[in-house]
Structure 1
Amino acid sequence: MKPTPLCPSCRLPMEVHQLDGHDHGLGHGVVELDICFGCQGIWFDHRENLKLSPQAVVELFTLLHQHRTDERRPLQRQLACPRCVRPLAQSFDVVRSGRYMVYRCAQQHGRFSAFSSFMVEKGFVRHLTRAEVDDLARRVDAIYCTGCGAPVDIRKDHACPHCRAAFSLIDPEAVKKALEGYRVAAAPAAAPSAPDLADALVMLERDRNRAQREQQRKRFSGEAEDSITGDLFAAGVAVVVGMLMGK
């Protein structure tokens, strides 16, 4: 049994989850994913990112949703390989659904991907339309960029001012295509409307704020209502999980 790896960013132990996998004609197997929910990243041993079955994607969405209120930690400037502890090299890959960032080990031990980068890699995202951005701006103060993770004032910026990425959302229709041929709890629904997305953002952030208040045991009450900083990635996960569970 291999030792529990440390997160390339925070250096805390990652959680190991066994998911269903396939090996391109060699049959089914098990893929052990190393996940840090605080840093919102996944470590893939060499080529593991290509071995996840569609059913494993369902399990991964469920896991991410269960940890939606976990405290988020920003990625460190220098990441280290959990196998050889050497620095990881930052690079960009491009697929049809967009450009995404990964961190690779020069010794080919594997790669570290943010949750959002993995979803871009698999083609599970779409860019928000101008109308959707305008609708969110009326209800949400800021969002986290799915490209670099920076908070963005959606009321004045229609693209991330830090990495220039367009705002994107996990697309349930793309997930539906990936799950074709696999049994799920209910038939996938259509892509969410902008009001549904805004509702998901508000509910998720209120859940997160509530969890933080309980954890920190704030010493006083009577505070003004928290401002909403929406996490488009978490909102997309929530919409997809609700779709898969027939809600």
Structure 2
Amino acid sequence: MSTTLSRPCPSCGDALQAHKLPALYSGDVEIDFCFGCHGLWFDQMENLKLSPEAVATVFKAMHQHRDEPRTPLNSRLACPTCRGGLVQGFDIVRSGRYITHRCAARHGRFSSFSSFMIEKGFVRQLTRPEIADIAKKVGAIHCSACGAPVDLRKEDACSHCRTALSLLDPQAVEKALQTYAHAPARQAWGSPSDVADAIVALEKERSRQQRERPAGSRQLHGPGGLGVDLLSVSLGLLGGLWND
């Protein structure tokens, strides 16, 4: 995977990292990553030009950067080509509904990593009983699509963007990787309850780190896992997919 510095991120303005990946039929396609925002910029139709190997490479890159701090998306996103505002919309695929941010001048679109995972079939939507099971241990999370808080005890979808709650499912990942890269994934958990346990463990570790920081440098976090989302946590649980 070839890497060069490229255009400004539509959200944070930092330099996008341009990665040359194999195209579907021949040649290369250049995809721009922002690991600070956990986002991807696709020039017009580039998301449809990725070869199976390229899709697996993007997923691996997402996995490698899963623990890095995430900058919340700005309320206004700008096209890195013309600097015009991006228009928010939705696309629907078999694995769920996801948010897109498109340039009105058709220069391309900005997509979060979580939206990319939904688009390419790495996730499945949670059932209401599964959401209730997670809610017993975790009160609230961030929406993987827009970042808004979701109270699992009251909601079975994001009240802000109406995106359904999704989870990286081992069987879905295995099926997707067999389709894209012919590489099976190892199952790393047995149920959504295991994801809830992982969120609780992350919150305990975060609380410990907060207590050990000097008082003036402490950061406040909401209770019940508000600092995490289901897709990022389940991505972390798939640590056996590749040797980093």
- TM-score bucket (shorter structure): 0.7 to 0.9
**Alignment partner, residue 218 of structure 1:** 213
Query: 5+ residue gaps in structure 1?
Result: none
> Contact (CA 8 Å) 2:112, 2:145: kept in 1 or not?
no
Deviations 1:123-168 (A, max 9, x none): 2221112232122112223111123221112233232222233211
Of 5, 10, 15, which aligns to 2:12? 10
Alpha-carbon RMSD across the aligned residues, in angstroms, is 3.2
Alpha-carbon offset, residue 118 of structure 1: 1.5
Query: Counterpart of 2:178 in 1: which secondary structure?
Result: coil
Go from structure 1 to structure 2 and tell me whether the alpha carbon gap of 1:190 and 1:40 turns closer, same or farther (over 3 Å shift): closer
| Overall identity of the aligned pairs, in % | 50
Go from structure 1 to structure 2 and tell me whether the alpha carbon gap of 1:142 and 1:175 turns closer, same or farther (over 3 Å shift): same
Alignment of 1:165 onto 2:173: no
Question: Which residue type is aligned with residue 12 of structure 1?
Answer: D
In 2, Cα distance between equivalents of 1:124 and 1:36: 20
Query: Counterpart of 1:179 in 2: which secondary structure?
Result: helix
How is 1:142-221 mapped onto 2 (pairs within 5 angstroms)? 142-180=140-178, 182=181, 184=183, 188-189=186-187, 192-204=190-202, 209=206, 218-220=213-215
In 2, Cα distance between equivalents of 1:4 and 1:188: 35
Deviations 1:182-234 (A, max 9, x none): 454x6543874123222333345566x389859xx83139x9xx743331110
Query: 5+ residue gaps in structure 2?
Result: none
Go from structure 1 to structure 2 and tell me whether the alpha carbon gap of 1:67 and 1:158 turns closer, same or farther (over 3 Å shift): same
**Alignment partner, residue 81 of structure 1:** 79
Moved more, 192-201 or 40-49: 192-201
Give the TM-score of the pair, scaled to structure 1: 0.79
Aligned residues: 235
Give the TM-score of the pair, scaled to structure 2: 0.80
Question: Which residue type is aligned with residue 99 of structure 1?
Answer: R
> Contact (CA 8 Å) 1:173, 1:190: kept in 2 or not?
no
Go from structure 1 to structure 2 and tell me whether the alpha carbon gap of 1:210 and 1:54 turns closer, same or farther (over 3 Å shift): farther
**Alignment partner, residue 22 of structure 1:** 23
Query: Counterpart of 2:136 in 1: which secondary structure?
Result: helix
Query: Counterpart of 1:199 in 2: which secondary structure?
Result: helix
Deviations 1:13-63 (A, max 9, x none): 1223333x233xx33x43332111222211011221112233333332332
How is 1:14-53 mapped onto 2 (pairs within 5 angstroms)? 14-19=16-21, 21-23=22-24, 26-27=25-26, 29-53=27-51
Question: Which residue type is aligned with residue 15 of structure 2?
Answer: P
How is 1:124-135 mapped onto 2 (pairs within 5 angstroms)? 124-135=122-133
Question: Which residue type is aligned with residue 8 of structure 2?
Answer: L
Deviations 1:88-145 (A, max 9, x none): 2222222222222211123322110111211222222211122321221122231111
How is 1:100-139 mapped onto 2 (pairs within 5 angstroms)? 100-139=98-137
Of 63, 67, 74, which aligns to 1:65? 63
**Alignment partner, residue 94 of structure 1:** 92
In 1, Cα distance between equivalents of 2:202 and 2:46: 30
In 2, Cα distance between equivalents of 1:205 and 1:52: 36
Go from structure 1 to structure 2 and tell me whether the alpha carbon gap of 1:133 and 1:105 turns closer, same or farther (over 3 Å shift): same
